[in-house]
Amino acid sequence: MMNADAEANLNASATSAARKADDCGCTEQSCEYCSNPSECLNCSDCCCPTSHREWRRSAVRRSLVVQYLNNSWMAVEVAAGLLAGFAALNFALLAFGGDSVIELISGMVVLLHLRNNDTGSWRGELGASRIGRYLLLALLPAIGGGAVYSYMAGIRPEASLPGMVVAALAVVIMPFFWFEKRRLGRETNCAPLRIDAVESATCLSLSAVLLAGLLIQWLLHTYWVMYIALGLMLFLIGREALEGTGSHKSGKLLSG
């Protein structure tokens, strides 16, 4: 039977841990306002109680499932966008597929982060994320230059049924990834996951613009509308790249 001194010490330890948890800023089911993320290494050796650590492990597992599903869909977008784009000589579809390649690379980085280091720190991901932004910037002249040449040469992009299907599916699917990654990223204080949520929002915008352009082209048989859609898509891609690069240089987190 526990003696009085041992029981008193146990109660004092529990009270101290609870007081530290309050100082840390974490709640039982959120690390969003943690004031010591560098010290709360995976919440495994810090002030957080056992119930919070169990919640965090469960949240990271959910994040892994979401990220696996996201990367699988990105692979579909890459294949469908590039194949349909080349088949129809449609640079808007190629831009969509190219952006999906960058987002797939980013998704793989986030997945590795969640598997190997779910502390919420994003220092190890800065280099890979910055490369992704530069690749997006490189995508602008490559796709834009090809589109200008295509227009000047009189090449008319064709309507693409596979392109419309994948764009429509993306409009339906991407909101789920956007909201889930943003929610889980905030709850677990995982910066790479929150940044990936912003990319999902951009992908949703690109999908909507692409779908609108393809539908108008198919209904009205006006090929030039795809060049307008491409211009809007390149603007969105450029904004994403510039905002991401700027946030990394300033050390700030994109909040989505």
Q: Are 27 and 57 in contact (CB under 8 A)?
A: no
Residue 163 belongs to some domain of the structure: yes
Residue 217 belongs to some domain of the structure: yes
Distance CA 48, CA 81 (A): 46
Q: What's the number of domains the chain is made of?
A: 1
pLDDT tens digit at each of 256 positions of the chain? 445 555 555 554 544 444 444 456 565 545 544 555 555 555 555 565 565 667 677 888 888 999 999 999 999 999 999 999 999 888 889 888 988 998 898 888 888 888 875 444 445 555 556 666 777 777 778 777 877 877 787 777 888 899 999 999 999 999 999 999 988 888 877 777 888 888 888 889 889 989 998 998 899 888 888 888 888 888 887 877 776 555 544 444 443 3
pTM, full prediction: 0.71
Residue 35 belongs to some domain of the structure: no
The dihedrals phi and psi of 117, each to the nearest 5 degrees, come to -160, 90
Residue 215 belongs to some domain of the structure: yes
Residue 84 belongs to some domain of the structure: yes
Q: Identify the domain containing residue 182 by its residue range.
A: 58-250
Residue 46 belongs to some domain of the structure: no
Distance CA 129, CA 55 (A): 28
Residue 33 belongs to some domain of the structure: no
